[in-house]
Amino acid sequence: MEAPAAQHYIPIFIDVKPSEDLRPLTGQTMCFVGMLANSMEGIAGLKQFKKTRTIKRKLKAANRIVEALSDGSLALDGIAVTGKMNGHFAHWACDAVDRNRNELEGEWQLEDGKPTHLLWNGHSYPRDTALGLSIYANMLPIIGLQSARLCKNEYPKHMKLALDQLPHCSERGTSFMDALLGSDKDIQSMWDRNRKWGHTFELGVFESYRAQDANTITAKEHPNSVLVDWLAASCMAKVDPEQLKAESGFTDDQVAIIAEIWDALNHHGSSEMINVDDAELAKMVTAHAAKHYDSSLDTASENSELVNQTPEARGETSK
């Protein structure tokens, strides 16, 4: 894909469904989606998935996106990383926080022996928010790596990852993610692999932008923020249609129409979808981690118990 004209960087728009919080005691699916677009114009009049009222309008909007991808008026690449909140996502999130907790000078606040909040840098983060920020930090280099592969022959080489607004105040969320990105050796190793492609990366929360008429508009209304929101919904329709049905009131046929967006992307552009709970992938990740990071990954069943234990119960020393 060619980068947008007159730009000195490749923008990657990122969204998460159902939200940025990681609720590890549920069996819900979580989808991280990164999108590269060759234009900043998007589709005129398109609103975000949730803001498109009525099922009829949602289906009409989905058909518009599919048609635009099919006739070439819209060119996108998409990367998705999916998994269960009580699967490997839960383990990686807990592991990153607890592995770096002493260096970050963070402390779990406990109630009845179970962590409810993470205290860090004078702020209190609800457990699910802290874990969500942790897994977000882990997913960014994966999305960056796949994006770099898609763009390896394109210029410019600088890539900007535009994050959706983070829960619990974007500034606090970004600060915590930056701390993890700077201290976690596993995450740093993934970014090092990305740089081998010759790309450089910049992260930032996309909160607002200046339109052509000089008015400042919320980032959620940017055409590509709208599109990546629809891609994330379509990703959910592909990997967990029952969850999307429960959230949106769709029938099976209606969910299938939303899923067609990702099918059209795959057929007319390029896409990659990674399921972190896939058994074969888990074996590869475990082997890679043991070889390069001198760490190991627990099973998914152990992961769901991990977040419900105190650090002491996991054999760690509380700060």
Q: What is the pLDDT along the chain (319 residues), one digit of tens a residue?
A: 343 444 577 788 999 999 889 998 889 999 999 998 877 888 989 999 999 999 999 999 999 999 999 999 998 989 999 999 999 999 999 989 988 888 888 999 999 989 999 999 888 999 999 999 999 988 988 888 777 776 666 656 778 888 877 665 667 788 888 888 878 788 888 787 777 767 778 877 776 666 666 666 777 788 899 999 999 999 999 999 999 999 999 999 999 999 999 999 999 878 889 999 987 766 665 554 455 433 333 333 333 343 444 333 434 333 3
262, 78 contact by CB (below 8 A): yes
Is the bond leading into 141 cis (omega within 30 degrees of zero)?
no
Q: What is the pLDDT of residue 306?
A: 38
Q: What is the pLDDT of residue 156?
A: 62
Q: SS3 of 117, please?
A: strand
The single residue listed with the structure tokens 């500034």 is 171
Other CB atoms within 10 A of residue 275 CB: 18
Which helix (H) or strand (E) covers residue 76, if one does?
strand 76-84
Q: What is the pLDDT of residue 199?
A: 75
DSSP 13-40: EEEEES-SS--TTS--EEEEEEEEES-S
CA–CA gap between residue 193 and residue 201 (Å, rounded): 12
Q: Which one-letter amino acid corresponds to residue 10?
A: I
CA 5 to each of CA 11, 53, 77, 144, 249: distance values in angstroms, whole numbers, following the listed order: 12, 34, 17, 21, 40
3, 157 contact by CB (below 8 A): no
Q: Is 253 exposed, middle or buried (0-12, 13-18, 19+ CB in 10 A)?
A: exposed
Q: What is the pLDDT of residue 281?
A: 64
| Count of alpha carbons within 13 angstroms of residue 279, beta-carbon side | 0
| Closest C-alpha among 166, 256, 229 to residue 203 | 166
CA–CA gap between residue 131 and residue 289 (Å, rounded): 20
Alpha helices (H) along 105-203: 127-150, 170-183, 185-195
Strand partners, 267: none
